Structure 1
Amino acid sequence: MKKMMLLILSSLVVLVAAGCGKKEDYKPVAINEGVDRCEVCNMLIEDDHNATQLILKDGKPLKFDDLGDLFVWTKEHGLDEVGQRFVRDYHSLEWLKLEEAYYVYDKTFQTPMAFGVYSFKDKASAEKFIEEQGKGTLMSASELDSHSWEPNMDMMKGHGHDHEGHGNGQSEGSEESHGSDNSHGDGHKDGLGDSHGDGAEPSHGDSHNNEGAKDEHKEGTEHSDPSDHGEHKEDAVLKKDNEHSEK
């Protein structure tokens, strides 16, 4: 009986130990292009070789548009709640466990946030890429932790990632633009006020004076015309009488 109990207890201990030692099998999730945004920079993520992700221990995926942003996130939050990190093979886009891949860095390599690191499924692929490009530094997964992870600021500005400067420029430009519109509006208003106030009223009075002058001239003409006709008529009569008497 005691042997049976010992056997049962031993089996339980083995099962518990096996259960504790078993690692969760985390799986990468698909990138939903046009919807998924990077956890660090909030940029939309393209479904390409630069996309990376990590799966938290509670099963929640966090996605990044650049391997550098994944390391920015883990530097701030640590790895205690991280179940697995994934990168993609540069050529096939196959998802790889971060610790199993190899990496090539050069500051001129174009990545979304200008960190310049590409990932490869094996060392041979990474070395061949360096040979083809004529540049690049080979790194293992363990070397990523000591990498500086400094983005190439010149490339970021060239790709329009200088959000702060661009935003300020837009804001200032908009304010100046609206200010100019307002001043233009005030000037336009003043101009209308002057034309209606200074120019319109005198011209209106002048038109009345002109009309009055026309009326007076007309009346004068009407009064003078009958007398003129009368004088001409008398002259004609006298002329006829003289002619008649001479005959």
Structure 2
Amino acid sequence: MKLTLSIFFLVLLFTACEVKPQKINYGSDNCQYCNMTIVDRQHASQIVTEKGRSYKFDAIECMINYHTEHSDQSVAMYLVNDFNTPGKLIDATTATYLISPEISSPMGANLSAFNSKQVAQKTQAEYSGKLYDWEVLRLYLKEKY
């Protein structure tokens, strides 16, 4: 009995701190930064800390601004939704970003993420705008906001 109880608590401990993304419940989850309801499957994002805590955002700029204000948190994953595959989270650090006045996003930055640079360039050719990688985008938003 004692061994079974010990095993149960060990399993509970390891599963409670699992570092993985959490499902975004569109229409009911709120943005950690601006508190708006997350409804847009093309622009939502998420931070997962090294302790396994998940923070969900309605827009990429909310995620970046939140982390700028909470830089003491150790982040395991930055995730963004792929514009062309709504609802699919991809690694934010390897994504390519497009800011285009022709593509609206929830907080008005007109910022979208793409899984590949080629797809982002094709979208840019269709809608105009400027492309960014993760590091340049973070610097740009830090200066802008």
Aligning the two structures, in what range does the TM-score lie when normalised by the shorter sequence? Answer: 0.7 to 0.9
Partner of 1:235: none
Structure 2: which 5+ residue stretches go unaligned? 1-17
Indicate whether 1:117 and 2:111 are aligned. Answer: yes
Partner of 2:50: 57
The amino acid of 1:139's aligned partner reads Y
Indicate whether 1:87 and 2:76 are aligned. Answer: no
Greater relative contact order (Cα < 8 A, sep 6+): 2
Indicate whether 1:141 and 2:129 are aligned. Answer: no
1:32–1:47 CA contact under 8 A, matched in 2: no
Give how far 1:47 is off.
5.0
- Percent identity of the aligned residues? 28
Give how far 1:48 is off.
0.5
Aligned residues: 127
Cα RMSD after superposing both structures:
2.1
Indicate whether 1:30 and 2:23 are aligned. Answer: yes
**Paired residue secondary structure (1:126):** helix
Give how far 1:29 is off.
1.9
Structure showing greater radius of gyration is 1
Indicate whether 1:98 and 2:92 are aligned. Answer: yes
Rounded Cα–Cα distance in structure 2 between residues aligned with 1:118 and 1:51: 9
Deviation string 1:107-134 (CA, Å, 9 cap, x unpaired) is 453111111110000000000001111x
After the TM superposition, which parts of structure 1 deviate over 6 Å for at least 4 consecutive aligned residues? none
Give how far 1:37 is off.
0.2
2:45–2:57 CA contact under 8 A, matched in 1: yes
Deviation string 1:56-78 (CA, Å, 9 cap, x unpaired) is 12111100001011111011011
- Structure having the higher helix fraction is 1
Rounded Cα–Cα distance in structure 2 between residues aligned with 1:147 and 1:107: 16
Q: 1:91 to 1:79 in 2, by over 3 A?
A: farther
Indicate whether 1:48 and 2:41 are aligned. Answer: yes
Partner of 2:121: 127
Q: If the length of structure 1 is used for normalisation, what is the TM-score?
A: 0.48
Rounded Cα–Cα distance in structure 1 between residues aligned with 2:138 and 2:60: 12
Q: If the length of structure 2 is used for normalisation, what is the TM-score?
A: 0.79
Deviation string 1:173-230 (CA, Å, 9 cap, x unpaired) is xxxxxxxxxxxxxxxxxxxxxxxxxxxxxxxxxxxxxxxxxxxxxxxxxxxxxxxxxx
